[in-house]
Amino acid sequence: MPVRGIRGAVQISENSPEALSREVPVLIEAMVELNSLSYDCIISVLFTATPDLNADFPAASARSLPLGDVPLICAQEIGVPGGMPRVVRVLMHVETAQERSEIQHVYLGATRDLRKDLAQ
């Protein structure tokens, strides 16, 4: 089965554990649903957060989902001057029969402006 990467992003409403716990799972669920995936086909998930999001790890917020033993890791996004604040970005590696061109990348809310070429 081919391995594909799915991109996603969400702007978090505030730098708090509660906001991350509420908003990161919504992004992951949307990525799974829009691509007709099951959680079993997820190989790994890489999260990045802008430097202004340090109240909690995005991966910890995703643990409320049925990810079981899926490896999750966090990194800090580059602090580009003028960049969008409070953004969590995701790169999810999945096993899927979908062609690369069929993958639906998910940019929620204001993050649609980050990748107008990919946003749904």
Q: Which residue among 4, 23, 86, 89 is the active-site one?
A: 89
Separation of alpha carbons 37 and 16, rounded Å: 29
100 is catalytic: no
Q: Which residue among 4, 23, 77, 86 is the active-site one?
A: 77
Q: Which residue among 41, 74, 95, 112 is the active-site one?
A: 74
Q: Which residue among 4, 7, 23, 86 is the active-site one?
A: 7
Q: Which residue among 29, 63, 95, 112 is the active-site one?
A: 63
18 is catalytic: no
86 is catalytic: no
112 is catalytic: no
Q: Do 37 and 9 form a contact (C-beta atoms < 8 A)? A: no
89 is catalytic: yes
3-state secondary structure 13-36: CCCCHHHHHHHHHHHHHHHHHHCC
Q: What would you measure as the largest C-alpha separation in the chain, in angstroms?
A: 41
Q: Which residue among 4, 23, 86, 107 is the active-site one?
A: 107
* Nearest of 86, 93, 82 to residue 110 by alpha carbon: 86
Phi, psi torsion values for 23, nearest 5 degrees: -100, -30
23 is catalytic: no
> Which of the residues are catalytic?
7, 63, 74, 77, 89, 107, 115
